[in-house]
Amino acid sequence: MEESIANAGVATSLGCSEVSREVVNDFSITFSTINGSGSATANLTIMRAIFKMGIPVSGKNIFPSNIKGLPTWFTIRLSKDGFLGYTEKSEIVVVMNPQTFARDLATVKPGGVIFYTDEYKGPIERGDVVAYPMPVKKLAKETDIPANLRDYIENVVYIGILAQMLGIDFERIYQAFETHFQGKKKAVDSNFEVVRRAAKWAEENLEKRDPYRVAPMNLTDGMILGSGNAAAALGSIFGGIQFSAWYPITPSSSIAESLNEYLPMFRKAADGKATYAVVQAEDEISAVGMTVGAGWAGLRAMTATSGPGLSLMAEYLGLAYYAEVPLVVWNVQRVGPSTGLPTRTAQGDVTFSYFISHGDTKYIILIPSTLKECFEFGWQSLDIAERFQTPVLVLSDLDLGMNYWISAPFEYPDRPMDRGKILWEEDLEKMIERCQGKWGRYLDVDGDGIPYRTVMGNRHPRSGYFARGTGHDDFGKYTELPEDWEKGMKRLALKFETARAVLPEPEIRTLQGAQIGIIAYGTTHDAVEEARYLLKKEGILTNYLRIRALPFSKEVSQFVERHQRVYVVELNFDGQMKQVLSAEMPMLAHKLRSVAKVDGMPFSAECIVRMLLSQEERP
Amino acid sequence: MIEHVVDGAKATNQIGLTRADYRGVQSTLCPGCGHMSIANQIVNACYELNLVPEQVVKFSGIGCSSKSPTYFLGRSFGFNGLHGRMPSLATGASFADTSVEILAISGDGDTASIGMGQFKHCMRRNTPMVYIVENNGVYGLTKGQYSATTEQGIQLRKYGKTKFMPVDICLEALASNATFVARSFAGDPKQVKELIKAAIKHSGVAVLDIISPCVTFHNLETSLHSYVGGKGHEVPLHDIAYVPLLDEITVDDFETGTIKEVALHDGGHIVLKKLGEDYDPFSRAQAFHILEEAHRKNWLVTGLIYVDPDEKNLHDLFNLVDTPLNRLKEEHLRPPSDMIDVANQLMQ
């Protein structure tokens, strides 16, 4: 076998007779590199160039909890059909890390390709794979780049080789460098020169023996490419965010970092002064404490965190729930419990987020699936929090937050900001008149469970009140009377019911004649859509409801009702959304089946199909 | 202080409010509790400073101390937060309107045990607020457990002898770069009142560690936290008075060469009259030294231990617009519609 691989001609004939059948714009490339080596620039450049060629693309980073020296993988998926979810194996694997060669070789799809650094001298124990060695060290040395940048330049070398071998447009690579280096011409030109030389080497030394090729399309015209965390920050800025306190934690830090980067561009007053403040707190308790304080005082306030941070925020969220303080918490989920897999993705905080804190609490939750939704929920969450005077949690995850997605462009908010029932001096005067002198912070004047609020700085002599987490009556006064406590709980429950009807509605996609339903949410969306396509090819038609908010609107139970059985697809071990659905619609719970797993990787379409079919076949 | 009395009507201050306008609801603390003495001096200080009650915002954590904000300034906004987590709540709120005075009440458990982290970070940020620790060296609301400030070897009724060295709140504040550190004694109401006034007028964080005896659980004469023990061991560093801008200081009031003045940003001054040894409240070294000496000699040293009136406060670092942030409208907060293209350009 080894010999046959060494002999390129044999390898090709073993690999596939498909060399004549080109595979255009429908494959994945995985880059296996060492973290801290600067490979991100190279990978993003290739991804951006493909995006700029008009081809739908996604980029997923599988990285260790480490700064330098451990293996890391980046997978670019191109799909002319727009299926951009995670794939377990790739058609093309680029190995820059000799240590992981054997493992990487195993992840190449049959008939695929491996590009590898010629530092690897060992055997290539697969006959169904085309192998191209790359003299990256030699080519890097030939450049006039300073020695301390050589590791980085080795990554730029493979851009050139891949571009040559796959047909990536060099002009687009140049543009991708311009985007990456923000127009710094010297950096762009010197990097591009390395790409050009490497491409020339490939042209002269490698014979194309594989079927994979990219070709320009026009499917990304007007679209955007980026990460969910950046979109969340931009959405919050268009939602008028005024205060954010945060504490560093993967994978949420880049929300706050994006706020710091973008706020000065969008939100300086005419005199150059700031209409916002972002504070790095000493821990997540303080981060949420500051955010609650700001929300209480009338600022549009948001904090961002991940599982361990959310655990620390539990007590403050309970206070904000009971004292009725608006704030937004972005929870960019990672694998737990405990520190878990801190750099891997999951949807494991559904039940915790919904019921977080002691006592009887429940929260409004928004779940974005796309960049565009990260932006929309960025501004809508601030409206919803102020309208309902309650914490709103937005459940993103590492995959959406830190990986690269294409999306329809952001749209300017289609409605004015909703500041909710806030009363300044004149408003309060009118309210007191309207209620014949009766005024209380927690009085349900409108019968919707939502009281009116005043905030500090209001000079009206009746505006002040003492907010507290202890039992209080309609007027904010301390009380331990059983009837007062119960009345408060009932009003909070009514408020929650009021919210149910106005939260982002679920998205439903149907196929004529389908009897089976799928419910999913968040980043499993792409894999679910691809799974439905694969299932359809097998003759299994499915309808699909994507949950975008909790508490559920009535469409969710109606959807379950309409189907013989409904698979709930989610990236956690316990089937948490199925638990919540079962609790909220016990009469329909028997129809629900779980397609739930968590292992650190996103869901692939193939995995959903496998797990779903295994239950379909069950008698 | 001039009180305006017209035809036997109730006395009012310069903004026409009576002392009653600064009071709160009936206290539910034990009769004789030091915390009520402090509450009364807060009322007096705010009245004498002519503060608009709506322009003061109260914060507290959890414990007997933290219940007390309802017993003063009933017209003011307030937020009774979580145990040990009051500083973050106050810090976040402070950005909404930087013109209000923040008056925060905590206790020794709330600050020196569960809240030590937030306390120290609040100090190092120089968050503009008055941070009063009503320090009684005991957990009152949970009935008499020793706290982190109880002196070593003190015999408590139910819990036996305390085993560990106490935390000195002023030392912790100093070590964390607080810009106003003072200690006082609830049994010395005049000093408490003047220190509160000076603290309110300080532009950054002002810590007042006020020994406030718990008459129910911790009033042993052997402890500095008791009325008798505190009084017996009090060593005031100076006589202190806050003098507002308009009140001219006449030389006759003070013996020449014995006073120090601290100029504050509002134009007022803290005037310190020498009592014994010369003490320089601008020196961190002297501050550390006096606290160390007090510990060795079992003194309850009181007065303005350290002040730096010129250090930038938290808000100074953020270059905020002049309008209070919480009064900004949509046109200030939401970027104009053409900026959506800029946002999309960032995603390429």
Query: A41 lies in a domain?
Result: yes
Q: Do B36 and B71 meet the contact criterion of CB atoms below 8 Å apart?
A: yes
My answer on whether A192 and A239 are in the same domain is no
State which amino acid sits at residue B330.
Answer: E
- The residue among A381, A407, A433 that closes a domain is A407
Residue B231 contacts A, CB cutoff 8 Å: no
Show Cβ contacts of residue A29 under 8 Å, excluding neighbours closer than 6 positions: A46, A75, A76, A78, A90, A91, A92, A93, A94, A162
My answer on whether A463 and A588 are in the same domain is no
pLDDT at B97: 98
Residue B254 has pLDDT above 70, yes or no: no
Give the whole-angstrom CA distance, residue B84 versus residue B126.
18
Nearest 5°: the CA angle A542, A547, A553 is 110
What are A231-266's pLDDT values in tens digits? 999 999 999 999 999 999 999 999 999 999 999 999
Could you give the 3-state DSSP secondary structure of residue B186?
coil
Show Cβ contacts of residue A369 under 8 Å, excluding neighbours closer than 6 positions: A400, A521, A522, A523, A525, A546, A548
Length of chain A: 619
Range of the domain at A487: 425-500
Residues 84-123 of A with CB under 8 A from B: none
A-chain CB neighbours of B117 within 8 Å are 282-283, 286
Residues 483-512 of A with CB under 8 A from B: none
State which amino acid sits at residue B198.
Answer: A
Residue A7 has pLDDT above 50, yes or no: no
Contact assignment for A456 to B97 by CB distance below 8 Å: yes
- The residue among A181, A213, A245 that closes a domain is A213
**A and B: number of Cβ contacts within 8 A:** 223
Of B95, B320, B334, the CB nearest to A240: B334
Contact assignment for B321 to A274 by CB distance below 8 Å: yes
Residue A542 has pLDDT above 60, yes or no: yes
My answer on whether A124 and A149 are in the same domain is yes
Give the residue among A445, A447, A467, A438 at the shortest CA–CA distance from A455.
Answer: A467
Least confident of A494-508, A541-555, B209-223: B209-223
Contact assignment for B89 to A296 by CB distance below 8 Å: yes
My answer on whether A494 and A520 are in the same domain is no
My answer on whether A40 and A85 are in the same domain is yes
Q: Which neighbouring-strand residues pair with A31?
A: A74, A94
Domain count, chain A: 4
Instruction: Give the residue ranges of DSSP H helices in A142-249.
Output: 150-166, 170-180, 185-205, 228-238
What are A335-359's pLDDT values in tens digits? 999 999 999 999 999 999 999 999 9
Tokens for B283?
A: 């020196």
pLDDT at A13: 37
pLDDT band at B245 (very low <50, low <70, confident <90, very high): confident
- String of DSSP letters for A68-90: SSSEEEEEEEEETT---SB-SSE
Give the residue among A484, A467, A535 at the shortest CA–CA distance from A322.
Answer: A467
My answer on whether A230 and A311 are in the same domain is yes
What are A78-115's pLDDT values in tens digits? 999 999 999 999 999 999 999 999 999 999 999 999 99
Residue B120 CA, distance from chain mean position:
14
Domains of chain B by residue range: 19-321
Least confident of A306-310, A543-547, B91-95, B215-219: B215-219
Give the residue among A89, A91, A80 at the shortest CA–CA distance from A57.
Answer: A80
Residue A391 has pLDDT above 70, yes or no: yes
Contact assignment for A466 to B347 by CB distance below 8 Å: no
Q: Do A76 and A50 meet the contact criterion of CB atoms below 8 Å apart?
A: yes
Residues 158-187 of A with CB under 8 A from B: 179
My answer on whether A397 and A308 are in the same domain is yes
Residue A10 has pLDDT above 70, yes or no: no
Q: Do A202 and A236 meet the contact criterion of CB atoms below 8 Å apart?
A: no
Identify the DSSP state of B326. Answer: G
Average pLDDT over residues A180-208: 95
Identify the DSSP state of A24. Answer: E
CATH code for the domain in which residue A347 is found: 3.40.50.970
Give the whole-angstrom CA distance, residue B245 versus residue B180.
20
Average pLDDT of the residues of chain A: 94
My answer on whether A194 and A238 are in the same domain is no
My answer on whether A246 and A380 are in the same domain is yes
What are B34-76's pLDDT values in tens digits? 999 999 999 999 999 999 999 999 999 999 999 999 999 999 9
Give the whole-angstrom CA distance, residue B57 versus residue B93.
9
My answer on whether A442 and A575 are in the same domain is no
Could you give the 3-state DSSP secondary structure of residue A184?
coil
The verdict on domain B19-321 having CATH code 3.40.50.970 is: yes
For chain A, the helix, strand and coil percentages under 3-state DSSP, each to the nearest 5: 40, 20, 35
pLDDT at B265: 87
Give the residue among B171, B306, B224, B170 at the shortest CA–CA distance from B34.
Answer: B224
Q: Least CA distance to A228: which residue of chain B?
A: B347
Residue A131 has pLDDT above 70, yes or no: yes
Average pLDDT over residues B261-284: 90
Residues 236-295 of B with CB under 8 A from A: none
What are A139-192's pLDDT values in tens digits? 998 887 787 888 889 999 999 999 999 999 999 999 999 999 998 999 999 999
pLDDT at B247: 62
Question: What is the widest separation between alpha-carbon atoms in chain A?
Answer: 95
Average pLDDT over residues A594-603: 97
pLDDT band at A12 (very low <50, low <70, confident <90, very high): very low
My answer on whether A8 and A132 are in the same domain is yes
Least confident of A7-11, B66-70, B138-142, B173-177: A7-11
Residue A609 has pLDDT above 60, yes or no: yes
Contact assignment for B321 to A468 by CB distance below 8 Å: no
Identify the DSSP state of A17. Answer: G
pLDDT band at B9 (very low <50, low <70, confident <90, very high): low
My answer on whether A320 and A375 are in the same domain is yes
State phi, psi for B198 to the nearest 5 degrees. Answer: -60, -40
pLDDT at B276: 78
State phi, psi for A156 to the nearest 5 degrees. Answer: -70, -30
Residue B26 contacts A, CB cutoff 8 Å: no
Minimal C-alpha gap between B101 and chain A (Å): 10
Give the whole-angstrom CA distance, residue B43 versus residue A175.
67
What are B172-181's pLDDT values in tens digits? 999 999 999 9
Give the whole-angstrom CA distance, residue A172 versus residue A24.
18
Query: A159 lies in a domain?
Result: yes
pLDDT at B61: 97
pLDDT at B2: 52
Minimal C-alpha gap between A419 and chain B (Å): 9
Give the whole-angstrom CA distance, residue B268 versus residue B262.
8
- The residue among A376, A407, A438 that closes a domain is A407
Length of chain B: 348
**Could you tell me the CA-to-CA distances from B318 to A43, A133, A273 in Å, in that order?**
37, 54, 9
Work out the percent of chain A whose per-residue pLDDT is above 70: 96
Residue B317 contacts A, CB cutoff 8 Å: no
CA torsion angle A424 A427 A429 A431 (round to 10): -120
Of B54, B327, B340, the CB nearest to A464: B54
Instruction: Give the residue ranges of DSSP H helices in A324-450.
Output: 350-355, 371-388, 398-402, 425-434
Contact assignment for A262 to B327 by CB distance below 8 Å: no
- String of DSSP letters for A479-524: ---HHHHHHHHHHHHHHHHHHHTTSPPPEEE--TT--EEEEEEGGG
Contact assignment for A457 to B94 by CB distance below 8 Å: no
Tokens for A13?
A: 């004939």
